[in-house]
């Protein structure tokens, strides 16, 4: 055959049978001569590019299908040609897909050629992840005697899968049942034993495999059972193979298929007895469901009276090394059953029962203690001493039972070593020296030290933070050198370690943009190339981004600095900006303008400390320098900087104000604490005044104070503070994600102050009236505090900014004293993924960073953000929420009342997952007695307000039981009454009953905790006074 003829056969032939007949008589030598040309043709087809010296036919054909060769007749033909002419190495490489149209053609070509490499190729191909030689062809070639039966695992996988015939089509003839095929081709019966050794689908029990199967469909277990019943397959061998298979390192679902098959074979009493050693060995299996099977079979053996009891009582201890509760409980029940009949075996069972005390589950421990109590009299003193060592491993709720079993009166419960000893008389004196207002601010208004600490400690009032107690955060060093900026920027393009890095870079570019050192281009060229290549945009972990919003603005800024050209990109389709970040986009764009004009200046809003805070003294120095150097006055930068001022140190800073323009100086002095009032002439600087007011008190209504400015303003967090309302509910999804699905929903709204008035003032006459009266309409874009609350119905779905971790972490630092606007964003994002795993594209855990700010008493939205993190499926958010909860208790920033209120609302929505909540609370309670007390009080406020018959509520009740036992405290009468309503044998009812009985009326631990809390609150007053003096 000539190469031209070959090309015609490949490109001008739509019948594979013609190809087969054309090549059938060729000798191996002739085939070899066509091998290279075949390979070249194949490469041209797959690359979509014909070679320059290719024939017209080849060029024309390849051009026609250059974009998509897949599925073309030419491709099918060339693959057949590879089989017909090429050596093994090419066949291995080329035949990587199911790429010919007609299996019979491929079959015949190999049959005619009888290649010496067929065994090798099949062994190679069948062991590929996606083996593509049809099993029928392999069987056909085997029957024709041109290859041996492959011994590779892939053959067994294909064997299992092919006979299962899952991919049957309705238009095909019905498949033969497996048993029928095995009877017809008995050599395949030898292959079935490998099904228990190799990973395959034969014993897969997933339902999709049998869904829509025809009536005569047979699964592998059904077929094997049928053949065993008929005596065609050795039943004993099947029983053994299914047990032996469990010892192989195979996927869990295959293992479950093995023991289900074993049970399906229904071994007789004799058969079970013959395999008792194998069942016993499975006690050491690391897979839970195999252990369960083992216990089931051993239990059956015990009933059959053929269990080796002593060996079992020793070996069963291995079950307690697994944390699964069910198997451990089953094991203990089986031990109990055996010991009831065989009392002499108690001594060998005692160490096993003791081992169960080390199990992490409290129910397992409780059952073990119960069992040990039954055989108390047979326990030696030595054994009891050893048992005492295990007391440390036992859950708090079980300790009294264990101690009682061991006859110990001085139980180890309620250790208060972690708490300081506090002298209540000293506290009493200190409390009496406080004014009523001070006591209220400290949350100690209800406390009566004289009357045995009656009354609850209330949360701290937010005012305690204002201008008083301030935890000084770590300093933030600015970037002052060019090389350092390049290095920081190069790293930031790849990944932002912490959001403060962005602040340093923005400030660094702003202050160094006038410097063009020697070799600027050489030093920046690798960075510029990286950005132009796309950087690490796709990971959303770096400084730059695509699509739109803030990330795009920062990208433009960086490129403007690096190239000297002005970059101004537009938001692209599908991506939208986040409106509440608009003030920051304005700020970045202002920097960019200055960078383009090569006007360097330090940013006023660059934080001096972590958390977004600015030290007022440094701030005033910056202002003095800026105005002395005639720097451009950037209003957004200035307004933003005021929102970041620390409450601490303003008085000192006030003394340093020098020679600022009059209008600026007045605002600066006002924000630093000087008593000044705006006048009508200041209306042009209304944005400065509003920002200064919000800096002084974020939650105050400043309308009457700012009334001289005659402002028409209804934006939340402008003149008036923002209020938020929210509710949790369930709704039917109509959106783009999962239409029709019932999803968790959340309704929150921002209440605009005096919305009606605003509406009435939009008409022409109103505008005219405002002009006549000199009223000024406020532009929200100028006021960052109001801008942060901006909401807008946006056209596009994806927000690139909120998919970026550092931005989510950064939000709470933009206005350190009031990040509520960003908690609203957080809550909206969290609720949309409440039942979804954590996602790299929506890293919601970043929103929780704001909860770790020690200088902020938590608002309701902060509490809500915490709980949505705690009860969501997102594992990163959950773990971080636990941390935030723990720190909030440590720093005394959270409120049990608010938490309980939030939980009531979330419970009513019907989607709260109690298992997740309980897991989180459990971790919090493990930290210290104070944390246990906090959670106890929160639960006791919450639980009486909800329906205690809800599913899984027992998990939360178990937390309460543990806590009450550890605190040795009785629950309140109110809670006790609610719990008594739970009746019956449910888990919730049993736990509720234990809670009611747990603890004592007067707990010394709780008393100590309260005294410690009061002492720490009173210490705030001392710190405050010291700071004021300083």
Partner 1 sequence: MSTAIDYTYEYAFPSAIHTKNATQQFALATSSPNQVNPYFFEGRVRSPKIFGDMLLTLSEVVRTHFFLPRPALLDPVLTSSENLLRLEGFSGCCGVYARVDLPSNFFDGECLGRGTTNVDFNTPMRNALMRLRDSENVQFAVGKEEVALTKSEESIIEKKVKLPLRWIKGFSEVQAYQPRLMPKMEVTALEGLKFIRSLPKTAVPKQPSYAISRGRSVRFSQRPQTDAVKITGTHRVRIIEPLLLRAKSLRIWTDETNETSAWEVRFPVGSFFLMISPEVYRGFSGEGQVLSELAQPPSEQVIAQVRAQLKWQAQIQTADIANQLNLSVPEINKALSVLGSRGLAGFDVVNGYYFHRELPFELERVEEMQPRLKNARKLVEAGGITVLSSSCAEFREYEVPGKEVLHRVKLTESKDTCTCVWFSKHQGSRGPCKHILAAQITEDSRDLS
Residues that bind partner 1 (CB under 8 A): 247, 249, 251, 281, 284, 314-315, 318, 321, 323, 351, 358, 360, 392-393, 418, 486-487, 490-491, 493-495, 522-523, 525-527, 529-530, 536, 837-838, 840, 845, 852, 873, 875-876, 878-880, 882-883, 886, 923, 926-927
- Strands 798-799, 742-751: pairing is unpaired
Structural contact between residues 765 and 560, judged by C-beta atoms closer than 8 angstroms: no
Burial of 429 (0-12, 13-18, 19+ CB in 10 A): exposed
Decide whether 415 or 446 has the Cβ nearer to partner 1. 415
- Please name the residues in contact with 937: beta carbons below 8 A apart, sequence gap of 6 or more: 456, 896
Burial of 27 (0-12, 13-18, 19+ CB in 10 A): exposed
- Strands 575-576, 742-751: pairing is unpaired
Decide whether 100 or 810 has the Cβ nearer to partner 1. 810
Decide whether 31 or 916 has the Cβ nearer to partner 1. 916
Q: What are the DSSP calls for 2-37, one per residue?
A: -HHHHHHHHHS---HHHHHHHHTT--HHHHHHHHHH
Q: Least distance to partner 1 from the beta carbon of 491, Å?
A: 5
Decide whether 304 or 883 has the Cβ nearer to partner 1. 883
Adjacent-strand bridge partners of 576: 799
**In whole angstroms, what is the distance from residue 598 CA to residue 174 CA?**
79
- Number of Cβ within a 10 Å radius of residue 806: 24
Angle of CA points 285, 286, 287, to nearest 5°: 95
Dihedral sign (CA 372, 373, 374, 378):
positive
CA 976 to chain centre: 37
Decide whether 418 or 477 has the Cβ nearer to partner 1. 418
Q: Least distance to partner 1 from the beta carbon of 243, Å?
A: 13
Decide whether 396 or 467 has the Cβ nearer to partner 1. 396
Q: Least distance to partner 1 from the beta carbon of 665, Å?
A: 41
Decide whether 229 or 323 has the Cβ nearer to partner 1. 323
Structural contact between residues 782 and 635, judged by C-beta atoms closer than 8 angstroms: yes
Q: Least distance to partner 1 from the beta carbon of 769, Å?
A: 55
Q: Least distance to partner 1 from the beta carbon of 281, Å?
A: 6
Decide whether 88 or 348 has the Cβ nearer to partner 1. 348
Tell me the helices (H) and strands (E) count for the chain, helix number first: 49, 6
Q: What are the DSSP calls for 939-969, one per residue?
A: HHHHGGGS-TTSTTHHHHHHHHHHHHHHHTB
Q: Least distance to partner 1 from the beta carbon of 811, Å?
A: 17
Q: Least distance to partner 1 from the beta carbon of 129, Å?
A: 12
- Please name the residues in contact with 262: beta carbons below 8 A apart, sequence gap of 6 or more: 239, 242, 243, 293
**Which of 521, 453, 605 is CA-nearest to residue 1005?**
453
Q: Least distance to partner 1 from the beta carbon of 276, Å?
A: 15
Q: Least distance to partner 1 from the beta carbon of 857, Å?
A: 20
Decide whether 321 or 751 has the Cβ nearer to partner 1. 321
Decide whether 154 or 443 has the Cβ nearer to partner 1. 154
- Strands 723-732, 742-751: pairing is antiparallel
**In whole angstroms, what is the distance from residue 904 CA to residue 907 CA?**
5
Written as six digits, the tokens of 759 are: 């509406």
Decide whether 501 or 637 has the Cβ nearer to partner 1. 501
Decide whether 486 or 671 has the Cβ nearer to partner 1. 486
Decide whether 527 or 631 has the Cβ nearer to partner 1. 527
Adjacent-strand bridge partners of 744: 730
Decide whether 169 or 286 has the Cβ nearer to partner 1. 286
Token pair 């968790």: residue: 744
Decide whether 876 or 962 has the Cβ nearer to partner 1. 876
Decide whether 133 or 331 has the Cβ nearer to partner 1. 331
What H or E segment, with its residue span, contains residue 725?
Answer: strand 723-732
**In whole angstroms, what is the distance from residue 941 CA to residue 578 CA?**
38
Angle of CA points 572, 573, 577, to nearest 5°: 65
Decide whether 384 or 781 has the Cβ nearer to partner 1. 384
Structural contact between residues 391 and 412, judged by C-beta atoms closer than 8 angstroms: yes
Written as six digits, the tokens of 478 are: 């600015």
- Number of Cβ within a 10 Å radius of residue 794: 15
**Which of 181, 161, 169 is CA-nearest to residue 214?**
169
Written as six digits, the tokens of 137 are: 């062809």
Q: Least distance to partner 1 from the beta carbon of 208, Å?
A: 20
Rounded to a whole number of angstroms, the distance between the first and last alpha carbons of the chain is 101
**In whole angstroms, what is the distance from residue 99 CA to residue 94 CA?**
10
Structural contact between residues 761 and 862, judged by C-beta atoms closer than 8 angstroms: no
- Number of Cβ within a 10 Å radius of residue 444: 22
Token pair 């800096």: residue: 695
HEC readout, 316-332: HHHHHHCCCHHHHHHHH
Structural contact between residues 766 and 760, judged by C-beta atoms closer than 8 angstroms: yes
């Amino acid at each position: 055959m000539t190469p031209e003829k070959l090309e015609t056969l490949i490109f001008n032939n739509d019948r594979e049978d013609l190809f087969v007949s054309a090549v059938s008589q060729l000798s191996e030598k002739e085939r070899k001569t066509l091998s290279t040309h075949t390979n070249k043709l194949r490469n041209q087809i797959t690359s979509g590019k014909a070679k320059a010296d290719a024939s017209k036919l080849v060029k024309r054909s390849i051009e026609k299908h250059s974009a998509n060769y897949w599925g073309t007749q030419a491709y099918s033909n060339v693959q057949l040609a590879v089989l017909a002419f090429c050596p093994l190495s090419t066949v291995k490489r080329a035949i990587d897909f199911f790429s010919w149209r007609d299996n019979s053609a491929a079959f015949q070509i190999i049959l005619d050629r009888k290649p010496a490499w067929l065994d090798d190729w099949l062994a190679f191909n069948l062991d590929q992840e996606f083996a593509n030689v049809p099993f029928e062809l392999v069987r056909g070639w085997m029957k024709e005697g041109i290859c041996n039966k492959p011994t590779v695992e892939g053959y067994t996988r294909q064997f299992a899968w092919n006979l299962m015939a899952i991919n049957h089509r309705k238009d095909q003839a019905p498949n033969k049942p497996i048993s029928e095929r095995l009877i017809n081709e008995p050599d395949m019966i030898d292959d079935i034993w490998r099904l228990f050794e190799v990973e395959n689908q034969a014993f897969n029990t997933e339902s999709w495999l049998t869904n829509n199967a025809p009536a005569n469909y047979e699964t592998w277990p059904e077929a094997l059972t049928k053949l065993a019943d008929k005596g065609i397959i050795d039943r004993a061998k099947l029983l053994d193979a299914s047990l032996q298979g469990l010892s192989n390192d195979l996927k869990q679902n295959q293992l479950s298929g093995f023991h289900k098959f074993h049970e399906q074979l229904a071994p007789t009493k004799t058969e079970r007895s013959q395999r008792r050693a194998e069942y016993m060995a499975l006690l050491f299996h690391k897979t839970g469901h195999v252990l369960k099977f083992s216990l089931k079979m051993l239990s059956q053996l015990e009933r059959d009276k053929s269990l080796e009891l002593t060996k079992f009582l020793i070996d069963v201890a291995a079950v307690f090394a697994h944390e699964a509760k069910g198997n451990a409980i089953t094991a203990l029940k089986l031990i109990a059953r055996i010991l009831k009949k065989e009392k002499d075996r108690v001594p060998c069972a005692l160490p096993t029962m003791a081992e169960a005390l080390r199990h992490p589950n409290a129910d397992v421990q409780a059952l073990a203690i119960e069992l040990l109590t039954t055989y108390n009299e047979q326990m030696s003193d030595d054994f009891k001493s050893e048992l005492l060592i295990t007391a440390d491993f036992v859950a708090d709720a079980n300790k009294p039972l264990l101690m009682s079993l061991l006859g110990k009166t001085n139980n180890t419960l309620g250790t208060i070593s972690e708490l300081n000893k506090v002298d209540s008389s000293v506290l009493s004196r200190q409390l009496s020296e406080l004014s009523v207002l001070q006591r209220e601010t400290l949350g100690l208004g209800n406390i009566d030290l004289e009357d045995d600490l009656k009354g609850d400690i209330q949360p701290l009032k937010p005012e305690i933070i204002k201008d008083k107690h301030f935890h000084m955060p770590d300093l933030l060093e600015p970037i002052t050198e060019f090389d350092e900026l390049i290095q920081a920027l190069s790293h930031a393009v790849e990944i932002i370690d912490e959001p403060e890095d962005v602040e340093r870079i923005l400030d660094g570019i702003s202050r160094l943009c006038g410097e063009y050192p020697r070799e600027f281009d050489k030093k920046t060229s690798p960075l510029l190339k990286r950005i132009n290549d796309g950087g690490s945009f796709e990971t959303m972990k770096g400084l730059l981004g695509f699509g739109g919003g803030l990330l795009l603005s920062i990208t433009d800024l960086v490129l403007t600095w690096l190239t000297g050209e002005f970059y101004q990109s537009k938001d692209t389709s599908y991506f939208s900006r986040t409106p509440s970040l608009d003030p920051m986009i304005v700020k970045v764009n202002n920097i960019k303008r200055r960078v383009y004009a090569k006007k360097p200046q330090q940013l006023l809003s660059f934080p001096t400390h972590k958390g977004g805070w600015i030290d007022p003294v440094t701030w005033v120095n910056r202002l003095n320098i800026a105005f002395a150097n005639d720097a451009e006055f950037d209003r957004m930068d200035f307004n933003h900087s005021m929102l970041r001022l620390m409450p601490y140190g303003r008085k000192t800073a006030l003394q340093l104000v020098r020679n600022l323009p009059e209008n600026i100086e007045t605002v600066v002095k006002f924000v630093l604490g000087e008593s000044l009032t705006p006048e009508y002439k200041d209306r042009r600087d209304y944005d400065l005044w509003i920002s200064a007011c919000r800096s002084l008190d974020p939650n105050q209504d400043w309308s009457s104070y700012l009334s001289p400015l005659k402002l028409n303003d209804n934006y939340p967090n402008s003149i008036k503070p923002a209020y938020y309302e929210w509710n949790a509910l369930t709704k039917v999804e109509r959106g783009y994600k999962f239409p029709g699905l019932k999803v968790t929903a959340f309704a929150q709204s921002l209440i605009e102050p005096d919305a009606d008035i605003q509406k009435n003032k939009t008409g022409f006459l109103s505008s005219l009236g405002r002009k006549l009266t000199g009223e000024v309409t406020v532009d929200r874009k100028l006021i960052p505090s109001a801008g942060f609350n901006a909401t807008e119905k946006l056209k596009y779905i994806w927000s690139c900014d909120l998919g970026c971790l550092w931005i989510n972490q950064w939000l709470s630092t933009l206005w350190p004293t009031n990040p509520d606007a960003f908690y609203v964003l957080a809550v909206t994002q969290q609720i949309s993924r409440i039942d979804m795993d954590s996602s790299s594209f929506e890293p919601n855990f970043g929103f929780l960073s704001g909860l770790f700010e020690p200088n902020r008493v938590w608002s309701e939205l902060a509490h809500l953000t915490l709980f949505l993190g705690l009860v969501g499926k997102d594992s990163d958010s959950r773990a971080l929420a636990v941390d935030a909860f723990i720190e909030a208790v440590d720093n005394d920033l959270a409120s049990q009342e608010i938490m309980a209120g939030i939980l009531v609302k979330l419970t009513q929505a019907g989607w709260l997952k109690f298992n997740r909540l309980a897991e989180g609370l459990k971790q919090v309670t493990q930290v210290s007695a104070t944390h246990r007390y906090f959670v106890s009080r929160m639960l006791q406020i919450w639980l009486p307000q909800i329906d205690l018959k809800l599913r899984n509520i027992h998990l939360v009740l178990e937390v309460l039981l543990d806590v009450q036992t550890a605190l040795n405290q009785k629950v309140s009468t109110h809670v006790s009454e609610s719990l008594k309503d739970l009746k019956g044998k449910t888990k919730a009812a049993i736990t509720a009953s234990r809670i009611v009985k747990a603890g004592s009326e007067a707990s010394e631990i709780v008393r100590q905790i309260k005294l410690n809390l009061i002492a720490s609150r009173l210490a705030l007053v001392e710190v405050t006074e010291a700071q004021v003096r300083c």
